[in-house]
């Protein structure tokens, strides 16, 4: 039997926040592994470190927080040692995070399709036309109505024009 392909391995990850009141050990020694085809859920009380763990893996911890120890290995790549430019290419391409608050994911000022297309242009290197086409495909896959009823390039597509707010609770 073949060994499962390891996608992510985190060893003894510690992320601390250095405040005027002292050190907050938000993540203090978590280790985990995720193999291809498997799912891992982090559950726990509010404030126990679930989000900080995910943000640490993505290397999105802002000061006064800092990863003080541990290894983050993504498909054999030591993420902790990468430069920020290298991380930007990995985020959204090889690893991503679904944030808990929809308001921190989609900007209600901009159209959903445009936000998806922008991400595809940045992270996948798609040109504008290909990014728009793929955004419509993705919206259709998740059940957004009318995502492909019009040609995006010549006429505004209904799905592209949907603001994020109606999408959160229903697919309006």
CA contacts within 13 A on the Cβ side of 80: 17
Residue 10's SS3 state is strand
Q: pLDDT digit of tens for each residue in the chain (172 aa)? A: 666 799 999 999 999 999 999 999 999 999 999 999 888 888 888 888 898 999 999 999 999 999 999 999 999 899 988 998 899 888 877 888 776 665 566 676 777 888 889 888 888 889 999 998 998 888 888 877 666 654 443 344 444 455 555 554 444 4
Domains of the chain: 6-95 (3.40.50.300), 104-169 (no CATH)
Instruction: State the Cα–Cα distance between residues 63 and 2, nearest whole angstrom.
Output: 42
Instruction: State the Cα–Cα distance between residues 114 and 138, nearest whole angstrom.
Output: 12
Query: Residue 110's pLDDT is what?
Result: 75
Contact indicator for 91, 30 with CB cutoff of 8 Å: no
Model pTM score: 0.63
Instruction: State the Cα–Cα distance between residues 9 and 35, nearest whole angstrom.
Output: 9
Query: Residue 53's pLDDT is what?
Result: 94
Query: Residue 172's pLDDT is what?
Result: 41
Nearest residue to 131 via CA among 118, 144, 145, 112: 118
Query: Residue 155's pLDDT is what?
Result: 40
Under DSSP, the state recorded for 146 is T
Where b means 16+ CB within 10 Å and e means fewer, 63-99 reads eebebeebebbbeeeebbebeeeeeeebbeeebeeee
Query: Residue 101's pLDDT is what?
Result: 64
Nearest residue to 67 via CA among 50, 78, 53, 77: 53
The side-by-side arrangement of strands in the sheet containing 6-19 is: 22-35, 6-19, 65-74, 77-78
Contact indicator for 126, 134 with CB cutoff of 8 Å: yes
Query: Residue 123's pLDDT is what?
Result: 81
């Amino acid at each position: 039997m073949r060994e499962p392909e390891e996608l992510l391995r985190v060893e003894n990850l510690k992320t601390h926040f250095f405040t005027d009141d002292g050190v907050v050990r938000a993540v203090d020694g978590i280790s985990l592994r995720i193999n291809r085809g498997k799912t891992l859920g982090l559950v726990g009380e509010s404030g126990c470190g679930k989000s900080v763990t995910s943000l640490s893996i993505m290397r999105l911890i802002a000061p006064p927080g800092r990863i003080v120890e541990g290894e983050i290995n993504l498909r054999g790549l030591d993420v902790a040692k990468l430069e920020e430019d290298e991380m930007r290419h990995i985020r959204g391409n090889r690893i991503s995070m679904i944030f808990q608050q929809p308001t921190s994911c989609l900007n209600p000022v901009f159209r959903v399709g445009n936000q998806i297309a922008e991400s595809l242009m940045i992270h996948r290197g798609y040109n504008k036309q290909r990014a728009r086409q793929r955004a419509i495909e993705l919206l259709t896959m998740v059940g957004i109505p009318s995502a492909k009823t019009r040609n995006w390039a010549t006429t505004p597509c209904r799905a592209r024009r949907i603001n994020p707010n109606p999408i959160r609770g229903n697919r309006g």
